[in-house]
Structure 1
Amino acid sequence: MLGISIYPTKSDLTSTIEYIQLAHKYGFKRIFASLLDVNDSNKDDILSLFKKVFSKAHSLDMYITIDANPRVFDTLGVSYQNLNLFKDIGADAIRLDANFDGLTESLISYGDSGLDVELNISSDAGNIENILSYAPNKQKILGCHNFYPQPYTGLDTDFFMKCTQKYKDLGLHTAAFVSSQVAKLGPHPFNNGLPTLEMHRNLPIEVQAKHLFATGLIDDVIIGNEFASEEELKKLSRVNEQLLVLNIELDPSTTKIEREIILEHLHFNRGDVNSYSIRSTYVKLQYKETGIPKNNTSEKLHPGDVVIGNDSFGQYKGEVNIVKKDIPNVDQHKNVVGKITPKELFLLDYIKPWTKFRFETN
């Protein structure tokens, strides 16, 4: 599922509503909203504003999470025993940026408000195990990573995987943030992008999302900053959440039949994997009687090259490989038909034994 973040106190109501409608047009179904700007002098106005915004989002059947912390609770006079104020303005979930004692989260999950409880999963301190030891309503427990406005503070990939794996192993729903390259607004004055993973900060938004879904650990991808462009929303809406689709830059010399083999078939990696290439072999069975002449047979193959076995390759004719290491093109048996877009090369690490994938062009 895809989502957007909104910061109604940082922009006008009309712009926020228009952004929600635009996101809905492209299939976005989640709203993440921050109440961190609330204080004693503006709380009535902010609650009224959020109620208007959430009413519009609910009319579009969108799911709404409010991000809050203990200061927000104190300012609004809200206790963890009574969260009806958040429900009354239209929230479906409350995200607890700071964990409590475990029992508190458990009690909230059975509260009269009916709110889901979204936990911060960007840590590895045993909090989820503690919460589950108090027998919460697991149907009401979700996990959502942080975002990081400051460059070089986002999560490392290995740590992200470790933290998220715990939640997936427990069968809990997960979410993480990607960052628009044009949006300027966030919950804090300083905002240099709002991704969860540091490596995503300057990547195209659709590549960030492909990565998160390719891990197999993230259910929902939310744009952390506001306002993403319509082009970014459109690109994100086209990302396949279940299947890795790699962007390929086809060589101008690629033939019609080579294009067909690459672009019109579902591919999958063999189960007996190696470190030199990803092998899609099943597709060759459909081209046993089809000629694939030698074409663009470079002597050396490089990481990201996509190749097809040509007529000289006997039983391997029509086999598709994605090269992972520099290797020779032995006897020029393989035609180079294109290259994986450089910014997506790292996604090859997520193609495991039997992983299904497709290719696409811009």
Structure 2
Amino acid sequence: MTMRKLGLSIYPDHSKYEDNKKYLELGHKYGFSRIFMSMLEVQGSIEETKAKYQKIVDVGNKLGYQTIIDVSPRIFKQLNISYSDLKFFSDLHVSGIRLDQGFDGATEALLSYNKYGLIIELNMSNNVDYLNNIMSYQANTPYIYGCHNFYPQVGTALPYDFFMECSKRFKKFNIHTAAFVASQVGNMGPWNVNDGLPTLEIDRRLPIEVQTKHLFATNMIDDVIIGNAYASEAELAAMANLNRYQVEFHIDFVKDINDIEKKVALVPQHFRRGDVNNLVIRSTMPRVTYKDIPNAPHDNTQEFKRGDVLVGNDNFGIYKNELQIVLEPHKEERKNKIGSISKDELILLDFIKPWSKFKLSN
């Protein structure tokens, strides 16, 4: 698996150079290292276009970003660019081009051997044999990337199952992948409708860090890019601080939580037992590590709900100090409720499979 990256989107035809520069500097401060740049709506001459894009790409390059520019056949025609020579894009100093629309397979395969070493990024949001076709023409796989679409219109982004089917086609070939999350404050995209720019419809209104956790949790996506500009500094910080390699749930503790329960929740590397059940996710090692530490009953008489975090109390014998996360409602006075996972993160529970590693933080 490649290292997972965070990215920003900028729209040079709808924005000022100074604003974009500031945004890239802010992203750099928070460890963002990828730029999606849209070139679907060019105005001006070839030379003006080249100068405008090159200027902001160079800023990104100096800050260590990898820039991939989104293009369509119309832009090739408008700017008089030949598929057999990608010099125009090399002159922009970008790392690669994203083909918003596909060709015949042979063309993409040939493009992946371009003499400038440009990455050819394909649109992932299609569940057709497109990629197999390209690979059958012996494409230069390290230079083939995949990136999902984003969807400005509310209700039109991908359903989760379809997203997974499309993504699996790319992961089968170990191709580097990307998808988009939506800033809740950004109002700029390529078009004049902007209800956020996510890949997944279910993510559209969630806090940006939860959207990001969701995409990483699928194990289908290497790079998560904010689709709309400009995200707030708080959003960038929230994404920068999350765990990119395992699900880390945010837990809101109950008032009466005690010291041992805090330790049980926050210290261990949790993993779900391999012999799973439908009632709870069990992290059993804490009951071994902390078996000699007392834990008096509290918050133990109500019905526990999905997402509640429980720890076995003194009345639970060998199971004292075992940590559990509730999947199905139940009552059990030998368990203390120590907190609950934030409502927005309940969708992440489905990703905790047998032996899955996970963390809790508050």
TM score, norm. by length of structure 2? 0.97
Aligned residue for 1:83? 86
Question: Which residue of 33, 39, 42 corresponds with 1:38?
Answer: 42
Which runs of 4 or more aligned residues in structure 1 lie more than 6 Å from their structure 2 counterparts after TM superposition? none
Aligned residue for 1:12? 16
Aligned residue for 2:291? 288
Aligned residue for 2:64? 61
Question: Which residue of 324, 328, 349 corresponds with 2:327?
Answer: 324
Alpha-carbon displacement from aligned partner over 1:7-50 (angstroms, at most 9, x marks no partner): 122121111001001001100000000111214x3443232111
Letter in 2 for 1:306: V
Letter in 2 for 1:35: M
Letter in 2 for 1:360: S
Sequence identity (%): 46
Secondary structure at the counterpart of residue 348 of structure 1: helix
Question: How far apart are residue 146 of structure 1 and its match?
Answer: 0.1
Alpha-carbon displacement from aligned partner over 1:126-174 (angstroms, at most 9, x marks no partner): 1000000000100100100000000100000000011101111111111
Letter in 2 for 1:9: D
Letter in 1 for 2:355: W
Contact 2:13 2:42 in 1 (8 A): no
Q: Is 1:205–2:240 an aligned residue pair? A: no
Letter in 1 for 2:169: K
Supply the distance in 2 between the matched residues of 1:184 and 1:335 (Cα, whole angstroms).
44
Supply the distance in 1 between the matched residues of 2:95 and 2:31 (Cα, whole angstroms).
19
Q: Is 1:344–2:345 an aligned residue pair? A: yes
Supply the distance in 2 between the matched residues of 1:91 and 1:300 (Cα, whole angstroms).
56
Question: Which residue of 109, 130, 135 corresponds with 1:132?
Answer: 135
Aligned residue for 1:312? 315
Secondary structure at the counterpart of residue 242 of structure 2: coil
Supply the distance in 2 between the matched residues of 1:95 and 1:262 (Cα, whole angstroms).
43
Supply the distance in 2 between the matched residues of 1:257 and 1:295 (Cα, whole angstroms).
13
Aligned residue for 1:177? 180
Contact 2:312 2:336 in 1 (8 A): yes
Count, aligned residues: 358
> Could you list the runs of 5+ residues in structure 1 that have no partner in the other structure?
none
How large is the RMSD of aligned CA atoms in angstroms? 0.9
Alpha-carbon displacement from aligned partner over 1:266-318 (angstroms, at most 9, x marks no partner): 11100001111100001211111111111111242111110000111111011
Question: Which residue of 234, 239, 252 corresponds with 1:236?
Answer: 239
Supply the distance in 2 between the matched residues of 1:204 and 1:33 (Cα, whole angstroms).
23
Q: Is 1:26–2:26 an aligned residue pair? A: no
TM score, norm. by length of structure 1? 0.97
Q: Is 1:358–2:359 an aligned residue pair? A: yes
Contact 1:295 1:336 in 2 (8 A): yes
Secondary structure at the counterpart of residue 281 of structure 2: strand
Aligned residue for 2:197? 194
Secondary structure at the counterpart of residue 18 of structure 2: helix
Letter in 2 for 1:273: V
Q: Is 1:118–2:115 an aligned residue pair? A: no
> Could you list the runs of 5+ residues in structure 2 that have no partner in the other structure?
none
